[in-house]
Amino acid sequence: MKKNVRMIYPSYIDKFQCIGGKCEDNCCIGWDIDIDKETFKKYHKVTDETMKKMFQKNVHNNKYCTNKDLDYGRIKLNEAKRCPFLDDENYCLIQGKFGEDYISSVCTQFPRVLNKVDDHYEICLDSACPEAARIILGSKEKIEFKESEKNLGKYTMTGILDTRSSEFKDTPIEYFKEIREFSIKIMQDRNLNFSSRLYVLGDFLNELEDIESNKIKEFISKYDIETEAKYYKRESMNYALQVSFFKNVVDSLDIVNESDSDKLKRYTKELLQGYNIKNNQDIIENKEEYIEAFEKYTKEYIENNSYIFENYIVNFIYNNLFPFSESDFMFEGYIMLLFRYSLMRFYLVGKYIYNGKDSVEDMLEFIQIFVKAVEHDKNYRSEILEYIKENSFDNMEFAKMLL
């Protein structure tokens, strides 16, 4: 479908252009590739004998289809977990042979994420793509949003939310746009250090859960970001607690053996060697070393380059319909977002201990790999949220420990 629509989008969108085979990663490697019904039918009508045989061998109906316009069919990856239609230089044989009209909506759209909120379409980029990650995370300027008429093109909708629906009347979702806008405002307040901003975001959403829906706008208008930030004080001992907690998370998820990402496996091995934890006694004995490493890394790399993490969070908030990104409970969205950031930092500090150095380029590369391997793995996400809820970690005390 091709039509012009009113669209809201981050200004960085206009800078993005896929670099194809020059990309150091590839969105056609390691991920299941879904095919919409319209494209699926095209594949099985081609007359080119070579491509016809490839389609018959590698493109099948998806028995777990959830939406015919999204995942009616699926491409079977080869043993190297590559799309069989990639050539030796990582270019698409289908597009080269038949043109862009024969590319599925998923392949055409990525790394763009498209949502619809009320009457507006919203589009942004997914930092699982290396080139998108460089554009999103690498800019020292705050992410700003524009509105104009754009061609929708061939698309797949990620999320649809009508805040005016009767089912959301007298619920916080009715005020989704105001809540999300203020959440972004908190995260872009550069008068505060990054941990303080994350603390305030949690405090804001935690308090908001108890506010009557008809008073939400008033609450937002009176909420003082910088006053609330004064209640936050970083506890150094929490860094040692995080080492223990996230070491157990990495072990329980068995990332070294279970992840489909060879790069994430390598990073995991580096961080485990960096922390050098054989048992819980090691954490107690080495806690001062861990605290020093976290404090040094936070000061030299995170606070000095806080725009990277600010842009990651703001982009996440926008493209995941935050804070309703996990459920109708706003604080669940917050605690999972904080978990992602804190797990990233755990990795970054472990790599820093192992390598003795870091750089902006290496940070951007790691975040892209992390997003692709962890954020796009629904099993990881569901396991983590279930673990948090089962252990009653969905509260501000646990959030303070993660900060």
- Summarize pLDDT for 138-191 with one digit per residue, the tens: 999 999 999 998 887 777 788 899 999 999 999 999 999 999 999 999 999 999
Q: What residue has token string 């099993």?
A: 379
User: What distance in Å separates the CA atoms of residue 163 and residue 114, rounded to the nearest whole number?
Assistant: 17
Nearest-CA neighbor of 212 among 173, 163, 171?
171
Distance CA 140, CA 143 (A): 9
Look at residues 292, 277, 293, 298 and name the one whose alpha carbon lies nearest to residue 353: 293
pLDDT tens-digit series, residues 323-374? 999 888 999 999 999 999 999 999 999 999 999 999 999 999 999 999 988 8
User: From CA 73, how far away is CA 62, in angstroms rounded?
Assistant: 5
Spatial distance between the Cα atoms of 204 and 182, rounded to a whole number of angstroms = 9
The 10s digit of each residue's pLDDT in 263-294 is 999 999 999 999 998 877 878 889 999 999 99
Measured in degrees and rounded to the nearest 5, phi and psi for residue 4 equal -90, 135
Confidence of residue 236 (pLDDT cuts 50, 70, 90): very high
- The Cα–Cα gap between 397 and 76 comes to 45
Q: 245 — alpha (psi -120 to 50), left (phi > 0) or beta? A: alpha
Give buried/exposed letters for 108-145 (b at 16+ CB in 10 A, else e).
Answer: bbbbbbbbbbeeebbbbbbbbbbbbbbbbbbbeeebee
- Angstrom distances, CA of residue 103 to CA of 85, 95, 155, 245: 11, 6, 11, 43
- CA 370 vs. chain centroid, Å, equals 9
| pTM for this predicted structure | 0.89
- Structure tokens belonging to residue 353: 């201990």
Rounded Cα–Cα distance for residues 194 and 188 (Å): 9
End-to-end CA distance of the chain, in Å?
45
List the structure tokens of 383: 């396991």
**Distance (Å, rounded) from C-alpha 199 to C-alpha 400?**
7
Q: Which two tokens stand for residue 224?
A: 């003082």
Q: Which CA distances in Å does 171 have to 71, 160, 222, 325?
A: 32, 17, 20, 16
Distance from C-alpha of 128 to C-alpha of 126, rounded to nearest angstrom: 5
**Does residue 211 register a pLDDT over 80?**
yes
Mean pLDDT, residues 73-87 taken together = 86
- Within 8 A by CB and 6+ apart from 283, the residues are 240, 243, 244, 247, 277, 290
As a whole-number percent, the residues of the chain with pLDDT over 90 amount to: 64
Domain-by-domain residue ranges, the chain? 28-109, 166-229, 237-402
Model confidence at 2, pLDDT cuts 50, 70, 90, reads: low
